[in-house]
Chain A
Amino acid sequence: MDKLLLLGDEAIAQGAVDAGISGVFAYPGTPSTEITEYIQASKEAKERHIASQWSSNEKTAMETAIGMSYAGKRALVCMKHVGLNVAADAFINSAITGAHGGLVVVSADDPSMHSSQNEQDSRFYGKFAQIPVLEPSNQQEAYDMTRYAFDLSEKFGTPVLFRITTRLSHSRSGVKRGEMHPQNELSLPSDLKQFILLPSIARKQYDVLLGKQAAFQEESEKSGYNKLIPGKDKSMGIVACGIAYNYLMENYQGEEIPYPVLKIGQYPVSRRLVREFYDQVDSVLMLEEGYPVLEELFRGILDEGKPVKGRMDGTIPRSGELNPNIVGKALGKEIAEGYPVPSVLRGRPPLLCDGCPHWDSFGALNEAMKDYGPGRVLSDIGCYTLSALEPLNSINSCVDMGASITMAVGAAEAGLVPAVAVIGDSTFTHSGMTGLLDAVNRNVPVTVVLLDNSTTGMTGGQDSAGLGKLESIIKGIGVDEKHIRIIKPLRRLHDENVKVFKEELAYEGVSVIIPRRECVQTLARRMKLKHAKKKETKESVNN
């Protein structure tokens, strides 16, 4: 079979399809989005009736996947690292219920925060849940490991966490496919109480999980994704986790690496391999992307063992993704230098698209807020977060998905009047709705600006779960109908819109203003498609 040219994300998606999944459950988030998009576009996935619609958030995605696993079929869950926080409740408990059909959770970490608010390392979550973690070093491994992950999950009846980082997610390379695994038949767990986490059962299940730990470690030793590669120079040994291995290899083009290397792709890390490695070297260099997870373990709490170099002593910068240069420097290699970057260079920060409805929404909001002074707009996560920058300078916070409304409620209860929350339609259904219910129950004066562009714009225009349902949701939550105001964010309606904002800002209760106009990107895409369809039908009529 020919090699496919795939992003790391796509390699995982293809691997999952070939592993016989029956569903992928996800909420879009960079750098994980392309996994689900690939499955949605896959003909094979369609033929196999693989469920692939976006979930409302990562928690519902995780829970739906647990349900599919309960019914005996293989399920994939995908999210970005901060999404795992949202799914954490279900995720941790899935380790206790265990899996029936294979259950694999992909968490895409974003070191260097290319498009995220933190760098958190999902490997900690794997350890926290006490389940196996897999971490590929390249696209081919991403494909192979995904298949292996489902086998592993079913072999031990456990969910498996699959950790990748941005660079692998969004880099493509040739990938060789393997055979397709058939989908599982529908079946129920042999123990029908397994998924009931009542304390008495949960305690039993927890013991089962603890009992599997030795086997997880044993499996790590055999898996082949953990390897001790011998080296002659024992003055140093190198531990390379996941993608760090490819930066290490880059520094030894074609040459043999003189030092022993412990390549790690599966956790919990094999104690035997670590012992064998540690005993033969005088010092250790730790290469891992994200937090110094293994480095801390190697150092121990007192740090009195052999010298360990890594993020904690500054050999590797404490934050940010790795690259060949950082690794080369840590190896003491001479680093080639390019030309100095000229000082006339200027930064070019991202900006809302030309014609984006948010320009007009914030234009009107900014003007209405003039009467009140700055510092009163709590925002959320989406394209509109860019309004924090020049020239709009509209918003004052961005903490996590859904935090705008709840923060506004807190600020209002602290006495900040008016307190404005800005949230997008997709983020609202992700985790804003519950916050709105809090606001209604507390009846605090908050003005919620629900920017409805009918899509998840930030990640490239995925379907938004609340499409066509927003007013009824808001009404259902209990917002007074008189204070649900729909406006059209357009330049020519500016004055009208400012008036609406002003009226609702003055209202001492919960109001929701919905500026509604489609994202220009998805609109353009839709128009193009429509045009193409029209042309097609015209041609077929003519023929």
Chain B
Amino acid sequence: MKKDIILGGVGGQGILTIATVIGMAALSEGLQLKQSEVHGMSQRGGDVQSNLRISSDPIASDLIPEGKADMILAVEPLESLRYFNMLNRETGWLITSINPFKNIPDYPPLEEVLAEITKLPRYITIDADRIAQTQGSVKAANIVVLGAASPFIGLKYESLENAVRQLFGKKGEEIVNLNLQALKAGRDFAEENR
């Protein structure tokens, strides 16, 4: 088993939370893990990216080679485009939220962004903000996207659920349930629209 995932988004959108959940789930299944993150300057509303590698065999590089990523998991559509060069042409999935984060003056028209994504052979685009809202909080949009990616990550769904419980446990039952529902809603959407 080996999955190389590029996580993309804008600083503050919660991609490191996604990385942590996947990481915890992978560890609980006895897998190896390498995850590189961004720190410092790039977090202030700039683009952020994380390389997440899970495997049953030892992992050498902290960075995923170009053209070898099994998945681009983005919480913002424009940011998903930034890593097209990383995606494996034969097998790669792109999972992204369609909710733009417009903090630059020249953000291109959303249709143009989505048009590029829908040219790919394997993708899921999801209105994560709306779905998260219906589950109780737009803050859980990142977990919705994770849910949408969950059928393709190669981990047991229960492992992801347990990781969500573990990670949000400190914040109380209510937050845990909200995120579990968000995860499920994202997954259901992906299962219906894959």
Contact = CB atoms under 8 A, between A and B. Distances in A.
B100 to A, nearest CB: 11
Given A5-B27, A348-B78, A386-B44, A170 B66 contact: no
B10 A348 contact: yes
A173 B31 CA distance: 11
B162 interface: no
A171 B37 CA distance: 6
A334 to B, nearest CB: 10
Interface stretch (A63-71, A244-252, A433-441): A244-252
A34 B36 CA distance: 14
Contacts of A383: 44
Interface string A10-46: 0000000000000000000011011000000000000
A173 B34 contact: yes
B81 A341 contact: yes
Interface stretch (A124-132, A321-329, A479-487): A321-329
A337 interface: yes
A33 B39 contact: yes
A336 B104 contact: no
Interface string A165-181: 00111111110000000
B85 A339 contact: yes
Contact of B42 (A115, A247, A346): A115
Interface in A322-365: 323-325, 328, 335-342, 344-353
A350 B51 CA distance: 20
Interface stretch (B53-61, B128-136, B182-190): B53-61
B45 to A, nearest CB: 4
B154 interface: no
Interface string B125-167: 0000000000000000000000000000000000000000000
A115 B103 CA distance: 21
Contact of B40 (A243, A341, A353, A459): A459
Nearest to A321: B63
Interface in B90-118: 92, 103-108, 112-113, 116
A5 B61 contact: no
B85 A338 contact: yes
A169 B40 CA distance: 12
A323 B65 contact: yes
B120 to A, nearest CB: 7
Contacts of B64: 324
A171 to B, nearest CB: 4
B66 A167 contact: no
B41 interface: yes
B108 A344 contact: yes
Contacts of A247: 60-61, 63
A364 B66 CA distance: 46
Nearest to A9: B39
Contacts of A350: 11, 41-46
Contacts of A31: 39-40
B87 interface: yes
B46 A349 contact: yes
B35 interface: yes
A173 B113 CA distance: 34
Nearest to A348: B47
Contacts of B44: 350-353, 383, 386
A300 interface: no
Interface of B: 10-11, 23, 27, 32-47, 51, 57, 59-69, 78-79, 81-89, 92, 103-108, 112-113, 116, 120
Given A172-B36, A339-B84, 6 more contacts: A5-B33, A30-B41, A114-B38, A167-B62, A338-B67, A348-B103
